[in-house]
């Protein structure tokens, strides 16, 4: 979905839009779009992509699996 | 849907029947029976077979490890990203149904789901993001600071581990009950891994026929109290449901006493398939730590509750020597040899050996050339080396009390409906049952039929 436009539109339910509008009153967020963008960015950053384990993580899991008799 | 990893019909429906009033009530009022697992009957892939209705071959998942490329040593642990088919909660999500999914393997890293997801026992530790949405993690750690994904088995202090497993399971159920009561959901699915850990580590205390049987009242009581606690939680969940909710209690595979472990790589060495350069190996040495003479090795194996045998094929493995045109014949010959392996006293074993193509229509991902169920899984396979005998009474790496069995359990129940029906079934019927109960008519490529008698709870 390559596009030259900097912004695009997504649809959210109107009651949700209104809720957010209410929520951001008097905050630093100037629009619902600002808030939604912020929240989505936060979530995506937390997920850290869908890559598998880091080397250290994998070592930890392997050790545990070995102790449980699943690996040798 | 409550998943009890490894729950066995012999324990749940028979041996402990009288101390599990809630499970027993569910069986008396609902439909229940044995649930034949997939092949191999192993946690990964079995839960995802249940959740997607697909075979391990389609999923390309055959256990807790797969090879990276065709490497001899580089292995990969399954992650949520390895599940390429839609799960029932993905399908329900398309119909605006919200799901709570807790600890269904493999589910680390947690994927965005319509609802919430807590990842499974393959989560490295609590520092990681283990929930979707991410904020849920803080809530869990605040309310259940001792939340655990799994336990680590340690032989010297094995007896103490049962208390750890008890607390892990109790905490996960308390969390699940809180989610059920306070969060919005249409579909709920949790898996508790503790039952599997209790079976593998402590079966010897409840089975006088186990070769390792110990008449230890304290441990036997602990084993029973563990199941009582699970039963009480199931009772609480049962009470909390309204008459419109269907409850399904399932397990991914069963368990039975372990007769011993068979050092399959040592056997392959003796039979001339595997060549090791080391003149001496310490007992229990891992194959990956040994110096394998790959240029003279035809086949090697991985151990576990079932064994996987790989041929060293020219053009496939880095130093392969078996010509492709000879592979079929080599496979057939080794198959017969493995089938003729006898027990330590010359007893005939009921060993099953098959190629993945013999049991799956589609074979994706990294698969071994042979799957081996030693003496129909009564013996586990040890891939380690340096043992004085190929027959090991105990397992040198993990717990050694129980192995996996093909039949798990299922109970289908709805409050207010008195059915009382016993019928054995198959793991491939679970995903179709869930879709049917939510009136999803589209098949999504899932071939199984719903559980027999599902109409009684509709």
pLDDT of the residue at B279:
85
Domain tally for chain A? 1
pLDDT of the residue at B399:
82
CA distance B276 to B274: 7
Which of A20-29, B22-31, B352-361 comes out lowest in average pLDDT? A20-29
B129 and A46 within 8 Å at the Cβ level: the answer is yes
B77 and A69 within 8 Å at the Cβ level: the answer is no
Show residues of chain B in contact with A40, CB under 8 Å.
none
Q: Is B167 exposed, middle or buried (0-12, 13-18, 19+ CB in 10 A)?
A: middle
Interface test with A, best of B68, B96, B122 (most A CBs within 10 A): B122
Task: Tell me: pLDDT of B411 over 90.
Answer: yes
pLDDT tens per residue, range B176-195: 999 999 999 999 999 999 99
B122 and A47 within 8 Å at the Cβ level: the answer is no
Strand extents, DSSP E, B347-420 = 352-354, 370-373, 379-382, 391-392, 402-405, 407-414
**pLDDT category of residue B384 using cuts at 50, 70 and 90:** very high
Side-chain-side CA neighbours of residue B154 (13 Å): 9
Q: Angle between the B158-182 and B194-202 helix axes, to the nearest 10 degrees? A: 160
* Domain annotation covers residue A30: yes
* Domain annotation covers residue A18: yes
CA distance B107 to B115: 14
Please give the torsion angle defined by the CA atoms of residues B46, B48, B50 and B53, in that order, rounded to the nearest 10 degrees.
-120
A61 and B77 within 8 Å at the Cβ level: the answer is yes
Which residue of chain B is at minimal alpha-carbon distance from A69? B398
Hey, what are B222's tokens? 């602990």
Which residue of chain B is at minimal alpha-carbon distance from A67? B398
Phi, psi (degrees; rounded to nearest 5) at A65:
-65, -35
- Beta-carbon contacts of residue B40 (< 8 Å; ≥ 6 apart): B56, B62, B63, B305, B306, B371, B373
pLDDT of the residue at B238:
97
A46: containing domain: 14-67
Which residue of chain A is at minimal alpha-carbon distance from B401? A69
CATH 3.40.720.10 placement within chain B: 2-257+404-457
**pLDDT category of residue B83 using cuts at 50, 70 and 90:** very high
Interface of A with B in 3-32 (CB under 8 A): none
Task: Tell me: pLDDT of B163 over 80.
Answer: yes
Average pLDDT of B111-132? 94
pLDDT of the residue at B257:
96
Chain B contacts to A (CB-CB under 8 A): 63-65, 76-77, 79-81, 109, 111-112, 122, 124-125, 128-129, 132-134, 150, 152-154, 197, 200, 286-287, 302-305, 380, 382-384, 395, 397-400
Q: Measure B89 CA to nearest chain A CA, in Å.
A: 19
Task: Tell me: pLDDT of A50 over 50.
Answer: no
Q: Is B277 exposed, middle or buried (0-12, 13-18, 19+ CB in 10 A)?
A: exposed
**Complex ipTM value:** 0.86
Mean pLDDT of chain B: 96
pLDDT tens per residue, range B206-256: 999 999 999 999 999 999 999 999 999 999 999 999 999 999 999 999 999
Rounded alpha-carbon distances, angstroms, from residue B114 to B90, B95, B98: 7, 10, 5
Strand extents, DSSP E, B307-346 = 307-311
pLDDT of the residue at A45:
67
* Domain annotation covers residue A55: yes
**pLDDT category of residue A1 using cuts at 50, 70 and 90:** low
pLDDT of the residue at B453:
95
Q: How many CB atoms lie within 10 A of CB B88?
A: 28
Secondary structure of residue A49 in the 3-state scheme: coil
A71 and B304 within 8 Å at the Cβ level: the answer is yes
Task: Tell me: pLDDT of B407 over 50.
Answer: yes
Secondary structure of residue B111 in the 3-state scheme: coil
**DSSP letters spanning B35-86:** EE--SS-SHHHHHHHHHH---HHHHT--SS-EESTT-SS-EE---GGG--S-
**Percent of chain B surpassing pLDDT 90:** 94
Radius of gyration of the CA atoms of chain B, in A: 22
Task: Tell me: pLDDT of A46 over 70.
Answer: no
pLDDT of the residue at B363:
97
CA distance B441 to B207: 45
CB pairs under 8 A between A and B: 87
* Domain annotation covers residue A29: yes
B304 and A66 within 8 Å at the Cβ level: the answer is no
CA distance B126 to B170: 18
A52 and B81 within 8 Å at the Cβ level: the answer is yes
What architecture does CATH give domain B2-257+404-457? 3-Layer(aba) Sandwich (3.40)
Average pLDDT of B28-41? 98
Average pLDDT of B31-51? 98
Task: Tell me: pLDDT of B124 over 60.
Answer: yes
- Beta-carbon contacts of residue B192 (< 8 Å; ≥ 6 apart): B2, B3, B4, B5, B103, B169, B172, B173, B230
Q: Measure A51 CA to nearest chain B CA, in Å.
A: 8
Secondary structure of residue B422 in the 3-state scheme: strand
Task: Tell me: pLDDT of A4 over 80.
Answer: no
Phi, psi (degrees; rounded to nearest 5) at B325:
-70, -15
**pLDDT category of residue A5 using cuts at 50, 70 and 90:** confident
Average pLDDT of B317-324? 97
Average pLDDT of B274-288? 93
**Percent of chain B surpassing pLDDT 70:** 100
Show residues of chain A in contact with B287, CB under 8 Å.
72
Strand extents, DSSP E, B48-186 = 66-67, 75-76, 99-102, 115-118, 131-132
């Amino acid at each position: 979905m390559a596009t030259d436009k900097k912004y695009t539109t997504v649809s959210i339910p109107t009651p949700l839009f209104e809720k957010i509008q209410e929520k951001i009153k008097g905050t630093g967020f100037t629009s619902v779009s600002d808030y939604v963008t912020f929240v989505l960015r936060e979530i995506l950053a937390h997920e850290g992509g869908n890559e598998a384990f880091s080397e250290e993580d994998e070592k930890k899991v392997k050790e545990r699996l070995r102790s449980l008799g699943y690996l040798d | 849907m409550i998943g009890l990893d490894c729950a066995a019909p012999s324990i749940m429906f028979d041996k402990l029947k009288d101390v599990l009033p809630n499970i027993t009530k569910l069986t008396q009022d609902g439909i229940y029976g044995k649930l034949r697992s997939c092949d191999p009957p192993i946690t990964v892939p079995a839960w995802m077979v249940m959740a997607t209705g697909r075979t391990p071959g389609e999923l390309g998942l055959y256990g807790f490890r797969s090879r990276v490329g065709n490497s001899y040593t580089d292995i990969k642990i399954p992650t949520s990203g390895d599940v390429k088919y839609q799960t029932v909660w993905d399908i329900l999500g398309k119909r605006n149904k919200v799901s709570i999914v807790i600890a269904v393997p493999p589910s680390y890293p947690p994927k965005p789901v319509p609802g919430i997801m807590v990842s499974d026992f393959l989560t490295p530790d609590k520092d990681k993001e283990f929930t979707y949405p991410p904020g849920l993690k803080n809530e869990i750690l605040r309310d259940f600071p001792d939340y655990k994904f799994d336990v680590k088995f340690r032989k010297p202090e094995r007896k103490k581990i049962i208390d750890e497993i008890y607390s892990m399971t109790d905490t996960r159920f308390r969390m699940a009950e809180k989610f059920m009561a306070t969060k919005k959901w249409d579909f709920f699915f949790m898996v508790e891994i503790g039952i599997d850990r209790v079976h593998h580590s402590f079966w010897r205390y409840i089975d006088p026929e186990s070769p390792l049987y110990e008449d230890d009242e304290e441990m036997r009581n602990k084993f029973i109290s563990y199941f009582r606690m699970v039963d009480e939680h199931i009772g609480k969940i049962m009470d909390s449901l309204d008459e419109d909710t269907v409850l399904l209690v399932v397990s991914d595979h069963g368990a039975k006493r372990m007769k011993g472990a068979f050092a399959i790589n040592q056997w392959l060495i003796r039979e001339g398939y595997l060549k090791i350069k080391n003149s001496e190996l310490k007992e229990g040495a891992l194959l990956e730590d040994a110096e394998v003479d790959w240029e003279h090795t035809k086949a090697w194996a991985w151990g576990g509750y079932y064994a996987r045998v790989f041929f060293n094929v020219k053009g496939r493995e880095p130093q392969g020597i078996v010509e492709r045109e000879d592979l079929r014949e080599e496979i057939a010959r080794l198959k017969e040899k493995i089938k003729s392996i006898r027990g330590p006293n010359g007893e005939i074993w009921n060993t099953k050996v098959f190629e993945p193509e013999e049991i799956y229509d589609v074979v994706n991902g990294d698969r071994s050339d042979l799957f081996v169920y030693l003496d129909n899984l009564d013996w586990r396979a040890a891939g380690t080396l340096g043992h004085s005998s190929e027959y090991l009474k105990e397992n040198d790496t993990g717990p050694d009390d129980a192995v996996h069995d093909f039949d798990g359990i299922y109970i289908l129940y709805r409050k207010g409906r008195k059915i009382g029906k016993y019928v054995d079934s198959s793991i491939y019927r679970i995903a179709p049952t869930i879709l049917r109960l939510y009136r999803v008519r589209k098949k999504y490529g899932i071939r199984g039929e719903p559980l027999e008698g599902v109409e009684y709870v509709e």
